[in-house]
Chain A
Amino acid sequence: MALPAAKKTNERVLVWRHSLLVRSTHWINALCLVFLLMSGLQIFNAHPRLYIGKYGADADRAFISAGARGGQASPQGYLQVGPLTIPTTGVIGVSNQNGEAVIRGFPSWITLPGYQDLATGRRWHFFFAWLFVLNGLAYMIYGIFAGHFRRDLVPSGDQLTAAHLKREIADHARLRFPKGEEARRYNALQKIAYLAVIFILLPLMILTGITMSPGMDAALPWLADLFGGRQTARTIHFISASLLVAFVIVHLFMVVASGLWNNLRSMVTGRYAIEESEGPK
C-alpha cells in the first residue's frame, strides 16, 4: 500500500505495505499450500497416471504418467509426458525409502504421510482444501471491497507501457530492484504474476478439485463439461499445481534476492523499508 511514511530511520523509511488481513491470509495460504501439495502428491501416487477426457484408467492411454520399468530387481523410474519419456530414477517413479529403492510416483519425503496411505492423504487434503477456500474467500472479499486489488495489484497506466515493461524485464534479469519512491508499489511483472496466481491458478485449483468430486459433479453438471471431463480436470489440477510450485520457487527466490529480512518483516509486521535518499524516479 502506498501510504504516507510511518517512521524515519536515517535515510531508510518504513512504509506500511501489508494490511493485517493480507498478512494473515498470506501465511494461512502458505500453510495450506504446503499441506495441499504434500497430501496431493500422496493422492496422485495412488494412481500416478493422468488422462484427457471423461474417463481414464489403466487400459486407457495416459497423457502424463509416472512409473517404473525393468521389473522389481532393478526398476528404472520415468516420467512420461505425451510422447516424451524422461528417466527420473531417484525422484519420480523409483525413489529411496528407508534405504531401499521402491516403486512409487513421488518420493516419500514430499508426500503426506511419507508412507503410502491414500485415506490419510485425502483426509488432510480436504481439511486444508476447506481452509484454503475459506481463507481465499476472506482475501477476495477484502481485495474487492477494501480496494486492495485496485490499489495494489492492478498495474497502473505508466507501468504498462512497452518501454517501462522492457526496462523492468531487463532490471529483473540483472536482479536490480526498484528503489526509493518506485519501491512503494509493486512492479508490473510482480503485479501480473500475483494477479495470474490469484485470479487464474488458485481458482483453477479449486474448480478442477471439486470437478473430481462425484457429488459436486451431480450438483453442478456443467463442471465436468467445462473442463472437458473429470479426467481432464484431474490433469489440469496437476498441471496448475505444478505451475503454483514453479511460482512459489520464483517467489521465494525473489524474496531472498530483493531483501529477505525486509520482505519478511513486511509480511509479518506490515512495515517495509525503502531508501528515501534515492529520491523519486
Chain B
Amino acid sequence: MTLSFNRRRLLKGAASLVGASVLSGCDALVTNDSANSVVQSAETLTKAVQRTLLGRHQLAQEFTEADLSPDFKVNGTDYPEGDAYARLADTNFADWRLIVDGKVRAPLELSLADLKRFPSRTQITRHDCVEGWSAIGKWTGVPLKTLLDAAGPQIDARYAVFHCADRYEEAADGNGNYYESIDLVDAYHPQTILAYAMNGKDLTIGHGAPLRLRVERQLGYKHAKYVMRIELVDSFANIARGRGGFWEDRGYEWYAGI
C-alpha cells in the first residue's frame, strides 16, 4: 500500500518532471533568438506574396447596411488619459488640429471642419482584430491620398506615421504612446481613409474621436484611433522602439495582412 503509493507518487513526479522539461523546452525554443529570427522570416514571405496577389488597388470586401454589427466592440483605449485630450473633447474637438508634417513640401494643419470640407468616402467594411473577432461598421472620412496630395510628399518619404493621443499599457521605459505606420502603397490605397464618422454619426470617443485611420486590408491594430499628427518619414527606426507601431514594438507583425 505504502509502496504502491510511493511508487505512484514517484511516477507522478517523474511524469511531471518530463512534462515540465518538455514545456520549458518549448518555451526556451520560442524565446531563442536565432529560432525566432528563422520563424520571423515567414513575415517577409507573407508580405511579398500578399502584395503580389493584392496589387496596389485591389479593394477589401465591402458590405451592406444589413451586415452591420449591432454592437461594434470598443477595443484598446476607450478614453485617452490626460487633461489635453479631455479639454479637446469638452469643446467637441473644435480646437483640435490635425498636423501633417515630416517629409512633405507643405505641412498642413487642419481642423475637423476643414477635413469635412474635402470630398469624403463612405465604406462598410469588416474590422478584423488580431485576437480573432470581427465587427462590421460603416466609416466615413477623407481619403489619406487627398491629404498627401495636398501636402506633397518629398521624394524620400516612405512611410506615414500616425501619432495618437492615447497612451496604452505604458511600459517601464515610458513607451506608452500609441502610434502606427503604413507604407505609401497602403497610404495611397483608395479605402485608406481618416474616418470622422461611424455608422452615420460622429465618431464616438470609444472608437477614436475625432479621427481614426482605416486601412482595410490589414488587422485592427493598424487602424490607429485618436490620430493627432501624420508624419511622413523615410524610416521609423528612431520612433519608440523602432518597429513601426505600438503593437509592433510588442512583438506583432508590422505587415498585418494576416
Which A residues form the contact surface with B (CB < 8 A)?
38, 43-44, 46-47, 49, 51, 54-60, 108-109, 112-115, 117-120, 122-124, 126-127, 129-130, 212-221, 224, 230-231, 234
Docked pose: A212 CA to B132 CA in angstroms: 8
Which residues on the A side are within 8 Å of B136 (C-beta)? 54-55
Min C-beta distance of A87 to chain B, whole Å: 24
Q: Is the CB of B251 within 8 A of A117?
A: yes
Query: Which of B50-58, B93-101, B169-177 participates in binding chain A?
Result: B50-58
Interface majority SS (helix, strand, loop, mixed), chain A: helix
Q: Are B39 and A218 in contact (CB under 8 A)?
A: no
Q: Are A213 and B70 within 8 A (Cβ)?
A: no
B151-163: contact bitstring with A at CB < 8 Å (1 yes, 0 no)?
A: 0000000000000
Contact with A along B42-67 (1 / 0, CB 8 A): 11011000100110001111010001
Contact, CB under 8 Å: A224 / B50: no
Report the minimal beta-carbon distance from A164 to chain B, rounded to whole angstroms: 43
Given contacts A215-B218, A218-B58, whether A49 and B133 have CB atoms under 8 Å apart is yes
Q: Is the CB–CB distance between A218 and B132 below 8 Å?
A: no
User: Are B23 and A120 in contact, with the CB atoms below 8 A?
Assistant: no
Q: List 22 A-B contacts (CB under 8 A).
A: A54-B126, A54-B134, A55-B134, A57-B71, A57-B72, A57-B73, A58-B133, A60-B69, A60-B71, A112-B30, A119-B247, A119-B253, A123-B42, A126-B43, A213-B257, A213-B258, A216-B50, A218-B59, A218-B216, A219-B58, A230-B126, A234-B132
Which of B39, B54, B133 touches A219 (beta carbons < 8 Å)? Answer: B54
B residues bordering A, Cβ < 8 Å?
Answer: 19, 23, 26-27, 30-31, 36, 38-43, 45-46, 50, 53-54, 58-61, 63, 67, 69-73, 126, 128-136, 216-219, 247, 250-253, 256-258
Q: Which residues of B contact A54 (CB under 8 A)?
A: 63, 67, 126, 134, 136
How many whole Å from B173's CB to the nearest CB in chain A? 18
In contact, B134 and A126 (Cβ under 8 angstroms): no
Contact in complex: B45, A130 (CB < 8 Å): yes
* B39, A230: Cβ atoms closer than 8 Å: no
| List of B residues within 8 angstroms of A109 by Cβ | 19, 23
Q: A38-B26, A119-B252, A127-B38 are in contact. Are A217 and B132 (CB under 8 A)?
A: no
B65 to chain A, nearest CB (A): 13
**Complex CA distance for A38 and B30, rounded to whole angstroms:** 12
Across the interface, name the chain A residue whose C-beta is closest to B128.
Answer: A214
Q: Is the CB of A215 within 8 A of B133?
A: no
Q: B27 contacts A114, CB within 8 Å?
A: yes
Residues of the A chain whose Cβ atoms lie less than 8 Å from the Cβ of B251 = 117, 119-120, 123
CA distance A47 to B67 in the complex (A): 22
| Chain B residue with Cβ nearest A44 | B132
Total CB contacts across the A-B interface at under 8 A: 141
Q: A109-B23, A217-B60 are in contact. List 17 more A-B contacts (CB 8 A).
A: A38-B26, A54-B136, A55-B136, A59-B69, A112-B26, A114-B26, A118-B130, A123-B40, A123-B43, A124-B39, A213-B50, A214-B126, A214-B217, A214-B258, A215-B53, A217-B126, A224-B61
Q: How far is the CA of A119 from the CA of B249 in the complex (A)?
A: 11
Bound: A47/B134 CA distance, A:
11
* Chain A hits for B36, CB < 8 A: 123
A130 CA / B219 CA spacing, docked (Å): 20
Whole-angstrom CA separation of A129 from B258 in the bound complex: 12
Chain B residues near A218 (CB-CB < 8 A): 54, 58-61, 216-217
Known pairs A55-B69, A59-B70; A124 contacts B50 (CB<8 A): no
CA gap between A74 and B54 in the complex, in Å: 49
Residue of B nearest to A238 (CB): B132
Pair A231/B134 contact, Cβ less than 8 Å: yes
Contact yes or no, B39 A214, CB < 8 A: no
| Cross-chain contact A126 with B71 (CB below 8 angstroms) | no
Residue in contact with A57 in the complex, picked from B42, B43, B69, CB distance below 8 Å: B69
Expressed in whole angstroms, the minimum distance between the Cβ of B208 and any Cβ of chain A is: 16
Residue of B nearest to A49 (CB): B133
